[in-house]
Structures are given as structure tokens and as C-alpha cells.
């Protein structure tokens, strides 16, 4: 069936997800749109928080200096603004699988660009679990969908059963970092036997990091040695 994909792309050339011009790339974004996205190049080396130019040479954010997160490293492709908000919204609320495929490819490329990947490869990908009620409402977990591309191309298995979200934490919007941390406490629990030394959490948007931090804490408490976070976008600090 290997011939199907090239054949399909000749019959139905792909269109850029943002501007509808032709986009003959694996990520389904045209070169212009891709270059114009808010790439998160200047960010905290530990938590991927976008840093302002005024931050000088420091590559660790104030929050990580004061209290390092429970995860060991984080990659976030974009700053959560402009067209990225639109893309993530489409990923969550449109049934079209192309969004997950396109974003999954971008994440896969980012991960593959890490020189350390070969000797420090994660044992599994752990998409942030949705609460049952949210999953029923949406019909799919966007973090699982974007993980599929990475899993397939980099041969890293997806773990969807080890952790469950036992509490619905819908009301995160409008809460500050401290309130979010409190709100997330005990949101996850282990649900199955889990044996992994190095876990890569996959999330769509990391806002304050409260969710991924809570998940990382739980994993470390259960014997995971190394935890990373891979996300599409990271929200810049407000103001
Ligand atoms: Zn475009
Ligand atoms: Zn940081």
C-alpha cells in the first residue's frame, strides 16, 4: 500500500491549512505561512517558556530558577499567539485529521532535530489524558492524535492507559499560575502497571505548566527517572 500516498498527493495536491494555497509539503503548510508562524526559538531551556529579548543572555526563566519543574526538559514549537491559536482550535474542534497530521509532523521534526534523541530516546509517549466527560464531548483526544505521527515515524510507543484524569478540571481559564497549580493537584492517578524509565509527555498547549508539572510529579513518584514535555505551543507570560 506504500504507493497510495504519493498517488493521492498527485490526484489531490494538498492545500495549505492556513491560506489554502498549494502546499506540496509533508506538513501541509505553505513555505510562507510556515515561516510566518511565531516559532518559539528564544525560550527557557528548562520549561520552554518564551523569553523576551530584554531577558538578556539568561536562558533559564525566573520561575525555573526559583522552583525547577518536576519535568527535566521541555520543547515547545511555537509561542501561543496569532495563527497558532487558530491552528490549535482547528485541531481540537474540527474533525479533519489533517490538522493532527500536520502538527504531528512538525513535532516529529522538532524531536528528530535533537542531537540527544538517539542516545536518550524516550521509552514511550504519554499524551495528556482527558477526563472521561471531556473525551465523550469531543470524541477524541487531540494529544493522542498528534502523538500517532511521532510514534509511527520514530518508533516510540504511545502509552494511553497508565494514567487517567480522575478529576475534571475544566475551569482553568481565568486562573493564575498559583491557582492553576492548586486546581490541578491530584487531577491524575496511575491506572495500570507502568514500567518506563524515560517518558515524553505530549500536550497541545502548555499555559502555565501546571498540568504537565502535576503529571510529571506523579510519574516521578512512580519510578520514572526522566520526564520530558513536547507541546505545540507555550503561552507567553501576560503583560
Ligand atoms: Zn499558506
Ligand atoms: Zn523556565
Q: What is the pTM of this model?
A: 0.90
d(CA 70, CA 64) in angstroms, rounded, equals 10
Residues 21 and 63 in one domain: no
pLDDT, one tens digit per residue, over 152-173 is 999 999 999 999 998 877 667 7
Residues 31 and 43 in one domain: no
72 has pLDDT over 90: yes
Residues 208 and 123 in one domain: yes
CATH number of domain containing 49: 3.40.50
239 has pLDDT over 60: no
* Percentage of residues of the chain with pLDDT beyond 90: 53
Contacts of 31 by beta carbon, 8 Å cutoff, 6+ apart: 25
Residues 160 and 225 in one domain: yes
Residues 24 and 121 in one domain: no
Instruction: Identify the domain containing residue 10 by its residue range.
Output: 1-36
CA of 31 to the centre of ligand 1 (A): 7
CA of 152 to the centre of ligand 2 (A): 30
CA of 57 to the centre of ligand 2 (A): 14
Distances (CA, A) of 206 to 15, 47, 55, 118, 179: 28, 10, 21, 25, 15
d(CA 129, CA 208) in angstroms, rounded, equals 17
Residue by residue, DSSP assigns 76-115 as: EEEES-THHHHHHHHHHH---HHHHHHHHHHHHHHHHT-G
Amino acid at each position: 500500500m506504500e504507493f497510495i500516498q504519493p498517488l493521492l498527493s498527485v490526484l489531490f495536491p494538498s492545500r495549505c491549512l492556513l491560506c489554502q494555497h498549494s502546499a506540496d509539503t509533508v506538513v501541509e503548510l505553505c513555505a510562507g505561512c510556515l515561516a510566518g508562524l511565531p516559532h518559539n526559538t528564544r525560550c527557557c531551556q528548562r520549561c520552554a517558556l518564551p523569553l523576551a529579548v530584554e531577558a538578556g543572555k539568561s536562558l533559564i526563566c525566573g520561575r525555573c530558577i526559583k522552583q525547577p519543574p518536576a519535568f527535566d526538559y521541555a520543547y515547545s514549537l511555537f509561542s501561543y499567539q496569532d495563527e497558532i491559536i487558530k491552528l490549535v482550535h482547528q485541531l481540537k474542534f474540527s474533525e479533519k485529521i489533517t490538522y493532527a497530521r500536520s502538527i504531528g509532523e512538525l513535532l516529529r521534526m522538532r524531536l528528530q532535530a535533537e542531537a540527544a534523541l538517539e542516545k536518550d530516546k524516550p521509552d514511550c509517549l504519554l499524551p495528556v489524558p482527558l477526563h472521561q466527560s471531556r473525551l465523550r464531548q469531543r470524541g477524541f483526544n487531540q494529544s493522542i492524535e498528534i502523538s500517532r505521527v511521532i510514534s509511527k515515524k520514530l518508533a516510540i510507543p504511545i502509552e494511553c492507559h497508565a494514567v487517567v484524569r480522575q478529576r475534571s478540571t475544566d475551569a482553568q481559564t481565568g486562573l493564575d499560575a498559583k491557582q492553576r497549580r492548586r486546581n490541578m493537584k491530584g487531577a491524575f492517578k496511575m491506572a495500570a502497571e507502568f514500567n518506563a524509565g524515560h517518558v515524553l509527555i505530549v500536550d497541545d498547549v502548555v499555559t502555565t505548566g501546571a498540568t504537565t508539572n502535576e503529571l510529571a510529579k506523579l510519574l516521578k513518584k512512580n519510578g520514572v527517572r526522566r520526564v520530558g514535555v513536547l507541546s505545540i505551543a507555550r503561552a507567553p507570560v501576560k503583560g
